Structure formats: structure tokens, C-alpha cells
Amino acid sequence: MTDTSEPHIAITEHDIAANGLRIHYLEAGAGEPLLLLHGGMASTSAAWAGHGWGWIDHLPAFARHFRVIAPHTRAHGATRNDDTPMSYPLLADDWAAFIAALELEKPLVCGFSDGAISGAMLAIRHPGVARALVNIAGYDVFNPQAHGFMRLRKRMGGRPDATEADPDYFASRSSDQEWFQRMVRDVDEAQGVGAWRSLLRDIFPMWTRPMEYTIADWATITVPTLVMVGDRDYYCTSEEGVTAYRTLPDGELCILPHLYHEITPRVCDVALDFLLRHR
């Protein structure tokens, strides 16, 4: 199992200009670069320690082998949005500009949920930038009929046909959940009181409307790619994971039993095995 208690590995924080943003990122370890991309409405910050949506507890395990670089997505954590409408293609362009700004040569990319989606988009829109990909539960939105679109419209906007986020409604349904309190603390401490409301409004279109890219576009991802999902994931089904895997020219598939939509030491073990084989 991965060892997440390695205090001798220093984690530093930085900012860099890329694609019109000041992107905040954490860095740890040395060697070949590895981008760790977090999920939506989370970040790689201390606010997510001990939570299944965060990479922060697992950074040391990856940093034993790689130069780990963990950026905060625009509008998340300590990276502000610039009022540009959010989309997964835009996030992919952010990461391409981020990689160029840091002068990284073919980094490995490992993403969870939204981070996995934007990682796949990076490989589609910017061929040759990444060396290999780990996609952890990040393929549902490539299905225009994904059930998550309506589910999230109702949860974030209050109605199945909502066209924009309703932060008050969302808070009334979420305020008793630990992840909601973490999200508010994470964003508001970094960007100012009430910033979580802007995050919700920014992310709503991306989470509730199909985009122009589909799983068919995964046929253009030529780098080695691992698709990983839990058999109990409530967004990414195992069946769609098999379809995504079979579409890839150079793919691997791992379906983990008794796993929901989360990052666990077991997930990190599988990801590390793949990444070490593709250094």
C-alpha cells in the first residue's frame, strides 16, 4: 500500500502566469514531472486532507518517484477565474499553457474526475504534450446523454431544467455535508468570503451541458492511457469505462471493487504502477 506519512518530503507552493491566469500550484519531489490534476469543487490544499476527493494526503507517495506538480484549476482553491466561461476544452488549454510556462518536457498526467476529464482533453487538443495519462473516473461527460447532467442541474440550480446555478438552494441542500464545508473554507480563505458562489456559477455550464467532444475522440489519444474506475462510482459507470478503454489506441483498464467516486491508497497504488512503467 502507498505510504502517505513521509514528513521529510517538502511541499512548496508557487504561482505562475499561464493562459491569462495566475495558476497556483504545489510542488514536491524530484525527477520526471508528474501533473496531479484534482477534481471539481476541490483542490490540492490542506482543506482536503483526509477526504477522498483530495490528492494532498497522497503527494508524498508520488513525490518519492517524481517531481510532482499539483495545480489548482481556474476558479478553484487559490487560482482565480478571469470571468471566462468555464469549459473542459478551456481547462485543457490552461494545462497546455501551464506546462509550457514551466518548460516541462512531456510530463506524465494523472487526474481524478474533472482533472481526468481535462487531462483527456489535453491529449486530444494538444497531441504530444503529455507522455502518458491516468484517467480516474473522468469520462462520463464525453457521453452527451450522461445522467449526471440532469442530476447536477437539479442539485446546483434547484430544477431539472435550470439554466444557471442557485447558490442559496445548493447551500440549503449541502450545508450539513462535510465536503461542502471544506469547499467553502478552501475557496473563501484563498479568494475571499463568498467566492464559493462564483465557483458554483462558473462550473455550472461545464457540469450540466454536453460538450462537442465525445468518447469517439478518444481514438485520437495516442499516448499510453490507464482508465480507472470504481465499480460503485455514481458518475462513471464500469460499462462506459470499458467503452472508453476500447476506444483508446494504447489503453489499459482497471475496475476496482467496492470503490465509489474517490481517491484512495489503493487507487494511488494502481496509478503509480502504471506511471512507473511509463516514465
The per-residue pLDDT for 7 is 55
Q: Which residues of 262-271 are buried (b: 16+ CB within 10 A; e: fewer)?
A: bbbeebbebb
Q: Which residue ranges make up each domain of the chain?
A: 11-145+214-277
DSSP 3-state assignment of 136?
strand
Closest among 86, 153, 164, 145 to 118, alpha carbons compared = 86
Q: Which residue has the cell 504502477?
A: 273
Q: Which residue has the cell 469549459?
A: 87
The per-residue pLDDT for 3 is 42
Say if residues 61 and 3 touch (Cβ distance below 8 Å): yes
Paired with 261 in beta bridges are none
Q: What is the pLDDT along the chain (279 residues), one digit of tens a residue?
A: 444 444 578 999 999 999 999 999 999 999 999 999 999 999 999 999 999 999 999 999 999 999 999 999 999 999 999 989 999 999 999 999 999 999 999 999 999 999 999 999 999 999 999 999 999 999 999 999 999 999 999 999 999 999 999 999 999 999 889 999 999 999 999 999 999 999 999 999 999 999 999 999 999 999 999 999 999 999 999 999 999 999 999 999 999 999 999 999 999 999 999 999 999
- In angstroms, rounded to a whole number, what is the distance separating the alpha carbons of residues 173 and 240? 29
**Domain 11-145+214-277, classified CATH 3.40.50.1820, yes or no:** yes
DSSP 3-state assignment of 248?
coil
The per-residue pLDDT for 83 is 87
pTM for the predicted model, two decimal places: 0.96
- In angstroms, rounded to a whole number, what is the distance separating the alpha carbons of residues 210 and 231? 24
Please report, for residues 8, 51, 147, the alpha-carbon distance to residue 152 in angstroms, rounded to integers and kept in the order given. 41, 21, 9
- In angstroms, rounded to a whole number, what is the distance separating the alpha carbons of residues 69 and 59? 9
Indicate the helix (H) or strand (E) that contains 24. Answer: strand 21-28
